[in-house]
Structure 1
Amino acid sequence: MVLPWGIRRAGRRAGKSKEDSSIDAASLDTEIAVPMPFRCPISLDLMKDPVTLPTGITYDRSSIERWIEAGNASCPVTKQPLGGAGRFDLIPNHAIRKMIQSWCVENCSLGVERIPTPRIPVTLYEVSEACKRIAAAANRGDAKRCYELVGKIRSWVKESERNRRCATEGGAGDALSAALELFGSASTEGRRGGLLEEIVSALAQVRPVSEEGLARLGSATSLHCILGFLNCDDLSSRQNAVLVLKEAISSNRIRRRALVEGIEEALVRMIREPIGPTATNASLVALFNMISHSPNSDKTRSKLLHLGLVPLLINLLVDSPDKGVCERVLGVLDLLCETREGRDEAFGHALTMPILVKKILRVSNLATDFAVAILWKLCKNEEGDERRALIEAIQVGGFQKMLVLLQVGCGEGAKENVRELLKLMNLYKDRVDCVDSSLDFKYLKRPY
């Protein structure tokens, strides 16, 4: 059996007219028959890293690893049982790989690119040995040797997702956290050689797995090092630092104590001067954990509010199309609205009500739950008879959105909030004009 592989022939001669080029492009479409021995039996794609199981069947490494990780314990073709818990070797099939490369070279004129020679994946034993050497080098203060070993782990992780998982399972994150704490306490020599920057860069890819590793990552010494990179001008270092900080704050131990001074300012700066969705998401997760698990949560909220976090979040909610960013922004905003000060800040922004109503049923169930919770807090906790927040929510289509949400369904907590909001809105809905909540509210102004 031979399966076709659609490939467009490479190149169009320069100097041809546009019409000639379009005709020529259509005539050069062709199908290349890829021999079945070169295809992975699982994905039916051309194999890039062929490996052979003990059963004698050859697969592409990525495909068979996904098969095994999914919990399958037998060969997909022969159905023969494999070693327990994946305890068997995936033997590189160099003969098939060279044949595939030769076939690619023979068909290069048809646009087929030669597959690169794959590197042998790292093993748990190699990771474990490297971690032991890092610990030994850190204990004797050998920054140069430690730098070399950390660089080796970074190169392993960059090669493939499999290597990253292997490094994590092998305890690389724990070893790196210990090295960061040890060299951070006497950081002058380490910083001169770029060691701390190399460690933080590696930790951004390989997180600690043990409580001891997380505790070291969340120590005052380590946090001061991370804070230094958060405040630097290098964008790559700042992104790596915030990814590491997110992991540090997720630790149960660090949640029970106060963070080092300046962390809040650095995270707000990450929101104000965004690097990209990855860094923004990490910053929002860190802020969420800081507020929700801080031993002085009210103090943390107050500080973030004085740093101007609320308007930054609202503007980010308006501008960002990223689903994850929207969910996390709403989550942080919901926590800030727990206090009167936070609610006043939120309602003080002209776009808060319109954007909250607009995001309901637009992003995800989680985002909808957060948006409803914020609306409930803003409307329910109003004082006096004016009910300005409630009236504005009705004006931007909140009443209709609540009705739709009740019909399509939502979580129990959100459903209770929706019902209470509808009861409140029903008292005022006939007194004000409503607008379509799908409109662009960029230039909307309040009537008061």
Structure 2
Amino acid sequence: MPPHDRRAPPGRRMLALPTVCPCEAIAPGTLLASLVALVAEVARHDAAALPVLRRGAGEALRVTRVLLAFLEEVREAAAEPLPDASVLGLSELHVAMQKLRFLLADCSRRGARLWVLMNADLVASELRVVLCSVATALDVLPADVVGASVEAGELARLLSQQAWRAPVWPDEDDGRATRSVRSMLALFRSRATPHAEDAMMVLGRVGITSWCDCAEEAAFLEAELLDRLEDGRENDNDLVLISGLMAFLVYCRVVLFDTVDAKKADAAAPGSRPASSCAAWTSQEALQCPISLELMTDPVTVTTGQTYDRTSIKRWIKSGCRTCPVTGEKLRSTQFVPNVAARGIVEQLLLANGTPLHEQQSSKHRCAVDKTVSAFGPAAAGGVRLAVAFLIARLSRGTPEEQKKATHEVRKLAKRNVYHRACLVEADAVPWLLHLVSSMDASVQDNAIACLLNLSKHAAGRSALVEAGGLGLVVDAVNVAAKVEARQNAAAILFYLSPNSEYCQEIGRIPEAIPTLVRLMRDGTYRGRKNALVSLHGVLHGASSIGKAVTAGAVGVLASLLPGDREDLANDAVALLARIAEQPAGATAILASSELVTSLVDFLGASASRSGKDHCVALLASLCLHGGDKVVALMGKMTALMPALYALIADGSPLANKKARWLINEIHRVYEQRQPPPPVAPPAGDRVIRV
């Protein structure tokens, strides 16, 4: 029996039924063999195991098994090769069976059970169309095929009768559950609380028995919502229903289940490994992109056979590099081949960890998240507000275990939905989360900081955090939070606060703020260093803040990042050095290290990043401006500088072009001033004595 967690093939949307029509020139025997294999695969499904539409799917499978017996009889009884005229009917059967295979896979898919329930009428209609196609195909098969034997003829008549008359409409229990869901959505619209018994009846009907099942269903609907928004389908009528169902599942997850259960092992298909054991036989490091060192969400293979994440390798090639980053070989082509096997392993790994692949965000995905600023319909709005009110009560008055679950729920709720963040801020979640930042429970503290990070992406959330006096707590969390991830998230909060000059001044006045970020840059993990770099860049707005960064040793730490193998960290380090060099004290600290100045000149010539070159030439210009002619003369002696500056004049951005021209003019000016004056010719008629 096939597994019940089958996911749709990449690129296919739920309840979409793409098919491939066999070629007209195909040999009838080849087509029959392929059709028998396809029908046998479909017939192995078990309708009793489906959460919804059991009767309709059972009727369709009964017809499929009769069709399988008919085709096998035809194959055995045919004394001669099948006539070419049979291709039309066999092709129609092949297309119908492809659609039925997709339908049954969608109906048995874990995570999409509630969505299938609410689309039961559509699924029943598609089943009806498939069975009618089977009956029609039998009518166009040649008589010598249908009557290849007595048994074949009897099976054909039975098959035709059953295909035309099969009752495939939804079950009564499915209809009752669907009406209950719509009734509860109506209660959400009026801000009324539904009865727990009604919600549990619906969940039980589709086989949702745990918090994990509920979260899986909500994650599927969230992915569907964001996929449609990414495609520009903001006016899709299904968005209102999807959002309402998401709110219903969130409410059930928050209110009806007291504990966050661990991810259960899923049933695996024959010959394949279960998703839950994926981490045991696959190294996560092997699935990291060699360029970004992050998990590949869209792995592709280049001509050298190496696999990279599509976004990373495209950025690599766009920067002008036409070699393989791992082998150094020249790429014969810039075309990529999707690595389907690697993508499947990544999906299983993420599923085993309870993380949907959609969490790996792209710019297009972030744009879709921005479109969730308002709820799609009053039912979604009401359901979310009821769930948020319940969570705030648990945060403020719950037991330690209830607070632990509530922070976990708030973290999930605010992760990828702007409207959810707005609801949490309006419900005064920020002060209670700040209170839990000092919790002795590491997981509660971690969840609380992650919640604040998500809420700091909202303007009202940033304001609420500052007004509640949370800046000092966030800075302390960067320094002393129990988990490394919590310290990294706390630094990211400062980054989201940094665009506001008033907030930056407040952060700068905290004695430990800048030294803490400098320590994170020096000792943190890759993500921690990245967050510290961008946060400190935003905080260093004034001379006093730059002086504190210099005193804390920021220049030396940044210098250590330049020769590293992470180009993005080096670019951020140069950008931060450029900010520091804007003040005389910062420029003096940078010039104190001749090795750093040499490294910056080398970086300017070697960097493939356009923004990195812009920041580097601006940094060198600031050093010359504050250091005077002595520094300009030093720059002029560096043989690698002038070629890099002329390259920027030819191909750089307007800003880099302007800075490069200024530097070249300054170097020429100082060089001309230091040349000895030309000899003066003696007056005519004077006697000259040559020695």
Q: Given the alignment, which residue of 428, 432, 452 partners 1:179? A: 432
What is the deviation of 1:290?
1.0
Q: In structure 2, which of residues 462, 465, 471 is the aligned counterpart of residue 217 of structure 1? A: 465
Q: Quick one: which amino acid aligns to residue 237 of structure 2?
A: G
Deviation at 1:216, TM superposition (A): 3.0
The residue type equivalent to 2:521 in the other structure is I
Which residue of structure 1 aligns with residue 485 of structure 2?
A: 236
Tell me the equivalent position of 2:494. 245
Aligned equivalent of 1:129, options 379, 386, 394: 386
RMSD value over aligned CA atoms? Answer: 4.5
Q: Which of the two has greater helix per residue?
A: 2
**Aligned equivalent of 1:422:** 664
Kept in 1, the 8 Å contact 2:588–2:627? The answer is: no
Q: Displacement of 1:345 after TM fit?
A: 1.1
Counterpart among 381, 406, 412 of residue 149 in structure 1:
406
1:99-121 CA-to-partner distances (Å, cap 9, x unmatched) read xx99x724539x99897799999
Matched, 1:290 2:544: no
Deviation at 1:279, TM superposition (A): 1.5
Amino acid at match of 2:416: R
| Distance in 1 (alpha carbons) for counterparts of 2:457 and 2:225 | 22
* Correspondence for 1:313: 558
Q: Is the partner of 1:247 in helix, strand or coil?
A: helix
Alignment of 1:191 with 2:440, yes or no, is yes
1:262 to 502, 512, 519: 512
Q: Quote the residue 2:641 is aligned against.
A: 398
Whichever residue aligns with residue 260 of structure 1, its letter is I
* 2:610 is aligned with 1:365: yes
Contact residue 391 and residue 428 of structure 1 kept, 8 A: no
- Contact (CA 8 Å) 2:591, 2:623: kept in 1 or not? yes
TM-aligned CA deviation for residue 306 of structure 1? 1.0
Per the alignment, residue 380 of structure 1 pairs with: 625
In 1, the alpha carbon distance for the partners of 2:616 and 2:547 equals 21
Equivalent position amino acid for 1:423 in 2: N
Verify the 8 A CA contact 1:360 1:368 in the aligned structure 2.
yes
Q: What's the offset of the Cα at 1:408?
A: 1.3
C-alpha separation in 2, matches of 1:261 and 1:140: 34
Preserved CA contact (<8 Å) 1:334 1:370: yes
Cα–Cα, structure 1 residues 119 and 237, in superposed 2: closer, same or farther, change >3 Å?
A: closer
Partner of 1:271: 521
CA deviation digits over 1:322-349, x for unaligned, max 9?
32x2332222111111122111111122
2:504 is the alignment partner of 1:344:
no
Which of 45, 56, 73 is residue 233 of structure 2 equivalent to? 73
CA distance in 2, matches of 1:197, 1:107: 39
The letter of the residue matching 2:515 is E
Distance 1:129 1:376 in 2: 57
Q: How far apart, in 2, do the equivalents of 1:63 and 1:138 lie? A: 28
Note the C-alpha offset of 1:428. Answer: 6.5
Inter-CA distance 300–151: structure 2 relative to 1 (3 Å threshold): same
How many Å separate the matches in 2 of 1:146 and 1:72? 38
Partner Cα separation in structure 2 for residue 89 and residue 180 of structure 1 = 29
The answer on whether the counterparts of 1:218 and 1:249 sit within 8 Å (CA) in structure 2 is no
Change (3 A) 1:168 1:340: same
- Number of the residue aligned with 1:169: 420
Instruction: Provide the C-alpha distance between the structure 2 equivalents of 1:427 and 1:242, rounded to a whole number of angstroms.
Output: 44
Q: CA deviation at 1:379?
A: 1.9
Tell me by how many angstroms 1:283 deviates: 0.8
**What per-residue deviation string (whole Å, max 9, x for no partner) do you get for residues 70-112 of structure 1?**
25339xxxxxx8318x3233889xxxxxxxx99x724539x99
Distance verdict in 2 for CA 1:287–1:351, change over 3 Å:
same
Letter in 2 for 1:395: M
- Superposed displacement of residue 183, structure 1: 5.1
State the shift of 1:129 in Å: 3.2
Name which of 221, 242, 258 aligns with 1:89: 242
| Cα displacement (A) at 1:309 | 0.5
Say if 2:395 and 2:406, in contact at 8 Å, map to a contact too. no
Cα contact 1:394–1:429 (8 A) shared by 2: no
- Structure 1: tracts of 5 or more residues without a match: 5-33, 41-46, 75-80, 93-100, 158-162, 433-448
Matches within 5 A, 1:30-41: none
Distance 1:193 1:328 in 2: 31
Greater shift after overlay, 63-72 or 358-367?
63-72
Q: What is the one-letter code of the residue matched to 1:370?
A: H
TM-score using structure 1 length: 0.65
Please say which of residues 169-178 and 312-321 is displaced more in the overlay: 169-178
Scaled by the length of structure 2, what TM-score is found? 0.44
Distance in structure 1 (CA, Å) of the matches to 2:100 and 2:608: 45
Q: How far apart, in 2, do the equivalents of 1:144 and 1:135 lie?
A: 14
Q: 1:424 to 1:389 in 2, by over 3 A?
A: closer
Cα drift, residue 251 of structure 1: 4.5
Give the whole-Å Cα distance in 1 for the aligned partners of 2:611 and 2:624.
20
2:73 paired residue number: none
8 Å contact from structure 1 (residues 153, 202) kept in 2: yes
Q: How many Å separate the matches in 1 of 2:491 and 2:537?
A: 13
Report the CA distance between 1:415 and its aligned residue: 1.8
3-state DSSP of counterpart to 2:540: helix
Q: Percent identity?
A: 14
Query: How far apart are 1:359 and its partner, in Å?
Result: 2.8
- For the residues of structure 2 that align with 1:36 and 1:288, how far apart are their CA atoms? 55
User: How far apart, in 2, do the equivalents of 1:319 and 1:393 lie?
Assistant: 26
Structure 1 residues 399, 252: CA separation in 2 closer, same or farther (over 3 Å shift)?
Answer: closer
Contact in 2 for aligned 1:353/1:393 (Cα 8 Å) = no
Shift in Å, 1:314:
1.4
1:228 partner amino acid: D
Q: Which residue of 2 aligns with 1:23?
A: none
- Structure 2 Cα separation of the partners of residues 148 and 66 of structure 1: 26
Measured in 2, the distance between the counterparts of 1:179 and 1:372 equals 46
Please give the alpha-carbon distance, in whole angstroms, between the structure 2 residues aligned to 1:396 and 1:431.
Answer: 20
Residues 1:264 and 1:171: Cα distance change in structure 2 (over 3 Å): same
Aligned length: 360
- Residue 49 of structure 1: how far off its partner (Å): 5.8
Structure with larger Rg = 2
- 3-state SS of 1:261 partner: coil
